[in-house]
Amino acid sequence: MKTEAAQSRRRRAPEATRLALVEATIDLVRTAGVHATTVDRICATAGVTKGAFFHYFPSKEDVLEAAILHWCQGRVELYGRDLGDTADDPLVRLERMLDGLAASVRVPGEKTACLLGMVAQELAGSNNRVRTLCERMLEGWTDFVAGLLAEAKRRHPPAVDFDPRDVAWMLNSLWQGSLLAAKTRRDPELVAANLEHARAYLSGFFDKRSPP
C-alpha cells in the first residue's frame, strides 16, 4: 500500500508542477503584463527551477498558451454556475451572467484584469500564434452569448430587430474595455456600472417577457 501511495504522489507531482507554472503565469500577467512576466519570475513565483519550467514548456509562448486555456476553462465553469439551469429563460440566464461578471470585480483583493484581454492587447499585433488563440477564445464567448440572445429573441417579442452576434460582440467589447478603463482608473465599480447599463440596453430590445 505504501508503494502504491508513493507512486501515486509521483504521478501527481508533475501535474502539480505544471499547474503551479500556469497559475504563476496567470497571476503575473494579470498583475504586470506579458512583457514583464519573464521565465525567471514565473519560476520564482511557482517555486520551481528553470529546468523544471523547460521540461514542461519549451518557451514562454507555450506557457502563455497553457495559461490562456486554463484561464478560459475556469471562466466557463464560473459562467456555468452563474447561468443556472439550461431550461431557464435565456434572457434571465444572460442577466445572471452579467451580474456574475459584476460580482467578480467586487471580490476584495481581486485584480481588475482579464488574462485573455491583457495578452491580446500586448501580443495580438506581434505574435500571430497567440493572437489566433486569443481570437478563438473571444469568439467562443461571443458565440455562447449570441446563442442566448438568439434563443431570447425566439421566446420573447422583440421591440426592435437586432443581430444576436453583433450584440454579443458589443457586450464582449464592453466587458474588455471596461476592465481596461477600470484598471487605469483603479475603480472596479466602473465595470459593474457599465454592466448595469448593458442589462438595461438588452431589456430595451423586448416589449415584454412572454412565457416560454
Residues 16 and 105 occupy one common structural domain: no
* Cα 18 versus chain centre, distance: 20
Q: Are 84 and 95 in contact (CB under 8 A)?
A: no
pLDDT tens, N- to C-terminus, the chain (212 residues): 444 543 443 344 878 999 999 999 999 999 999 999 999 999 999 999 999 999 999 999 999 999 999 999 999 999 999 999 999 999 999 999 999 999 999 999 889 999 999 999 999 999 999 999 999 999 999 999 999 999 999 998 899 999 999 999 999 999 999 999 999 999 999 999 999 999 999 999 986 545 55
Residues 83 and 161 occupy one common structural domain: yes
Residues 33 and 111 occupy one common structural domain: no
Residues 72 and 115 occupy one common structural domain: yes
Residue 106: C-alpha distances to residues 25, 81, 112, 196 (Å): 23, 17, 9, 14
The CATH number linked to 37 is 1.10.10.60
Whole-structure pTM over 0.75, yes or no? yes
Q: Are 65 and 26 in contact (CB under 8 A)?
A: no
Q: What is the pLDDT of residue 208?
A: 56
Q: Are 25 and 42 in contact (CB under 8 A)?
A: yes
Q: What is the pLDDT of residue 12?
A: 47
The CATH number linked to 156 is 1.10.357.10
Residues 41 and 69 occupy one common structural domain: no
Per-residue burial over 109-120, b = 16 or more CB atoms within 10 Å of its CB, e = otherwise: eebbbbbbbbbb
Residues 53 and 100 occupy one common structural domain: no
Residues 108 and 125 occupy one common structural domain: yes
Task: Give the domain-ending residue among 57, 74, 92.
Answer: 57
Number of domains into which the chain is organized: 2
Please name the residue that has the C-alpha cell 491580446: 120
Residues 143 and 193 occupy one common structural domain: yes
Residues 37 and 91 occupy one common structural domain: no
Task: Give the domain-ending residue among 18, 37, 57.
Answer: 57
Residues 105 and 137 occupy one common structural domain: yes
Per the structure, the complete domain to which residue 19 belongs is given by 1-57
What backbone phi and psi angles, to 5 degrees, belong to 206? -120, 140
Residues 43 and 65 occupy one common structural domain: no
Residues 20 and 66 occupy one common structural domain: no
